[in-house]
A and B are shown apart, each in its own frame.
Chain A
């Protein structure tokens, strides 16, 4: 697996154009549900782990109904994992209060909150990427705008996404041309430093040219799509159903309840 394949996000657009039950849902409905999902997941107390597990259902169902290759999506999630790792990294060292035992190991509060952070990360980033994969960035942008998000914010989001392509393409080109001249030796850190500087400058130039081309075709900051979807009863049912599930999973620990149910209330 080359690194370019990890960054490659062009496939996201292709996935976004497929026609499946998940894709046919109105983009606004999916955006609302995903936002509620993220807010609810983040609202759990810091040591919550088992109570979070039922929430895995939402991204999994979305991915399955949208016919999205799970492996591809997971790779994208992993790409962002270092950020979550950095946030949670010190918890096990800061909080050494033992909270339980797993076999011979004592589990401290720090480790539990670390697990909670990673699980939340997986859930929220996974859900956001699943939303993107079964909606497409442009439709998502249009949906956010119709939901009343500020136009400037939506335009920023779309540009950020579009320029990801631009930057990753520039980076891939630059790395290739450096490797060709490296005679098979790994590139030194200093070279990478210089490359990143160049990448920034080149991307800025490129961004300016793309923007110019957009303005030349009458872009004024508003995102317009050809076939705006309409909000149907099934979309409303999807929103209500999902939100009800999230709220009940927030109020009651469904995983524990299921465990009790299966073990006949033994625990």
Chain B
């Protein structure tokens, strides 16, 4: 896969209890693009993300990662291409030590031990948590956990990074560090978040979701400055776009 285009066409999904979470969502993210997925609670953001690596399979519509159409059969391929950072790092970290947790993905991909080791070292280094290597993940602070969760995904060298609420529960310093990391990643990025200031700093494009539908797509500043649109979908215009000096 040379071009890591993510394309979703007319995606529908209803949960087993009948709740319609997605009602015909379509979008396309170009290779190397950085896109924010915004919208109120229950808009369908997380459900949409779960389709991108085959955690949920399409009922109606199509998800395409590069040249691969994601189905039950190709889910393993999609998972190799799409690295998913989940909302709660506690769900993502389950091995006894940080190093083992980061090694989990590469080992499952069948890499030889030396390569696993170098991937682990590189991923930890990349997010600045090499010193946490031998610590048990559940003893870390939220910021550290988040960084490790990102490292577990980077170690699999995915083409596309998908993140669900990466800045939630972070203190300002940890959040700032996260933003710097996100800015430095060359991957195609899709980030679901309520942190609109982060969106302004990291993402070039914004998709707005409401009640399972994609209600707006466009360049970040243009969409986020549209006060009427934002308010209509339970959002607001971020401060960073109101004042010359962000605070």
Interface residues of A (CB under 8 A from B): 10, 13-14, 16-17, 136-138, 162, 165, 169, 206, 209-210, 212-220, 222, 224-227
Contact = CB atoms under 8 A, between A and B. Distances in A.
A209 to B, nearest CB: 4
B13 interface: no
A217 B138 CA distance: 19
B138 A210 contact: no
Given A215-B79, A218-B76, A10 B103 contact: no
Contacts of A210: 91-92, 94
Contacts of A219: 104, 108
Contact of A218 (B80, B90, B99): B80
Closest 4 CB pairs of A and B: A218-B108, A217-B105, A13-B96, A224-B107
Contacts of A215: 55, 79
Interface residues on B, range: 20 to 34
Contact of B105 (A10, A212, A218): A218
27 contacts: A10-B136, A10-B139, A13-B96, A13-B136, A14-B96, A17-B134, A137-B96, A138-B95, A138-B100, A162-B94, A209-B86, A210-B92, A210-B94, A213-B92, A214-B94, A217-B104, A217-B152, A218-B76, A218-B156, A220-B108, A222-B108, A225-B100, A225-B107, A226-B99, A226-B100, A226-B107, A226-B117
Interface in B136-173: 136, 138-139, 152-153, 156
B113 interface: yes
A218 B100 contact: no
A217 B108 contact: yes
A17 B152 contact: no
B50 interface: yes
B124 interface: no
B130 interface: no
Nearest to A217: B105
Interface of B: 50, 53, 55, 76, 79-80, 84, 86, 88, 90-92, 94-97, 99-100, 103-105, 107-109, 113, 116-117, 134, 136, 138-139, 152-153, 156
B55 A212 contact: yes
Given A212-B55, A214-B94, A217-B105, A226 B116 contact: yes
Given A212-B50, A218-B80, A226-B117, A206 B91 contact: yes
A112 B105 CA distance: 53
A17 B53 contact: no
B100 to A, nearest CB: 7
B86 A213 contact: yes
A214 to B, nearest CB: 7
Nearest to A139: B96
Given A218-B156, A220-B76, 19 more contacts: A10-B139, A137-B96, A138-B95, A165-B138, A210-B92, A212-B55, A216-B55, A216-B86, A217-B79, A217-B105, A217-B152, A217-B153, A217-B156, A219-B104, A220-B108, A224-B107, A226-B107, A226-B116, A227-B113
A14 B95 contact: no
